[in-house]
Amino acid sequence: MIKHFKPAIILFFIFSVLTGVIYPAVVTGLAQLLLPRQANGSLITDGGGKTIGSGLIGQPFSSPGHFWGRPSATGPFPYNAGASSGSNLGPTNPALVDAVKARIEALKAADPDNKALVPVDLITSSGSGLDPHISPAAAEYQINRVAKARNIAPAKLRELVQAHTEGRQWGLFGESRVNVLNLNLALEALR
């Protein structure tokens, strides 16, 4: 009977070392060698080297003088990377309808002169709840509010949004988008 268990135990330890130690070490080493910025979380730092965020995870902005990102569905606090998930509320769920109505009212209250339709990505969260991007239309919707709060010409903000609009990935996938953290950092640099 031991002769049947011995090969199984040996293979268990071999594959444990192979798949639990060697493979992760090789993949981590290759990632650090070939794509170090991405492997370390696409961190964004300020001029002093202090980490202020990630280009892959959204951050909450609520000041009228900043562009706002998509709502986050994570808990216990917004953009919690350890709790990535969508709201899992269906389109007919009254909780989702109420949340969307409240977000529309908050956007209208922040900029009562804006009569444009609210872009959907400003009132609904993404599938992960962490999306750091908004559509160019969502950025355009916020220009007048930010311009008033910062006393900047809207045309200057349109140029800034255009300069921070990323095209489709590899020219094929997805839609044009604006990274909210990068846009707000550029906005701060205007001061």
State whether the Cα torsion 54-60-64-67 is positive or negative: positive
Give the pLDDT band of residue 57 (cuts 50, 70, 90).
confident
| Cα 18 from Cα 121, distance rounded (Å) | 44
- pLDDT, tens digit (0-9, with 9 covering 90-100), for 73-88: 887 788 887 778 777 7
The mean pLDDT of 35-60, rounded to a whole number, is 85
Rg (the chain; Cα; Å):
23
What are the tokens at 133? 């991007």
Give residues with Cβ within 8 angstroms of 9, minimum separation 6.
none
Question: Which tens digits make up the pLDDT trace of 138-170?
Answer: 999 999 999 999 999 999 999 999 999 999 888
Say yes or no to pLDDT of 129 above 90: no
Q: Where do we find the tokens 């003088």?
A: 65
pLDDT in tens, 100-125: 999 999 999 999 999 999 999 999 88
pTM of the model: 0.80
List Cβ neighbours of 88 (8 Å cut-off, separation of 6 or more).
Answer: none
